[in-house]
Amino acid sequence: MKGIVPCIFFALVCVISVAQTTDFAITIEQLMTPQELKESGVSRLTDTQRHALNVWLNRYSKSLLQLANRSAAEEPTQSTVRSKCSPAVESTLAGNFNGWSGDTIFKLDNGQIWEQAEYAYTYSYSYRPEVTIYQTSGGCRMKVEDENETILVKRIK
């Protein structure tokens, strides 16, 4: 009887450790559609191969989360980062201005290129209007001379 208790305890520990190694936070089946599983060949994997894939997927996901957490902790606060539009950018649009329509690119005479960063539509025509691009809590906003609306933009060059 004394010998059976350690055996039961050992068996219980083995079952728990096996259960923990097969209890995945994410499985490939949760991430792929049935069609993707079929087209990628994952649906034809053996149970052993699928288990190995799920082990790797969880290890990879965990390392990504650790990297993201480490990067977030290392990023300087917003107040110490000099924005691309702080101080404000004052220039003139190169050529004709026809408003914005969702993916408008704005070329400035100072050589900078900005892209519309929010969906909005407005039509207005002017030739080489003055613009001011300034920092807001939501990002950089552009004010075009004689235009009532402003638009969220991001610098691409």
Q: Does residue 43 have a pLDDT over 60? A: yes
Residue 149's H or E segment, with its range, is none
Give the residue with greater pLDDT, 39 vs 74.
39
Task: Kindly calculate the radius of gyration of the chain based on its CA atoms and give it in whole angstroms.
Answer: 28
Q: How far apart are CA 132 and CA 103, in angstroms?
A: 19
Neighbours of 99 (CB within 10 A): 16
Residue 57's H or E segment, with its range, is helix 47-74
Q: Which of 92, 103, 150 is nearest to 124 (CA)?
A: 150
Give per-residue pLDDT as tens, 116-144.
999 888 898 999 999 999 999 888 999 99
Name the percent of the chain lying above pLDDT 90. Answer: 39
C-beta of residue 97 within 8 angstroms of C-beta of residue 120: no
**The pLDDT value given to residue 19:** 40
Q: How far apart are CA 124 and CA 45, in angstroms?
A: 59
Domain ranges of the chain: 4-74, 89-155
CA angle, 66 as apex, 43 and 154 as ends, to 5°? Answer: 95
Q: How far apart are CA 42 and CA 137, in angstroms?
A: 45
Q: Which amino acid is at 145?
A: E
Q: Does residue 11 have a pLDDT over 60? A: no
**The pLDDT value given to residue 142:** 93
DSSP assignment letter at 79 = G
DSSP assignment letter at 86 = S
Q: Which of 126, 128, 124, 130 is nearest to 148 (CA)?
A: 124
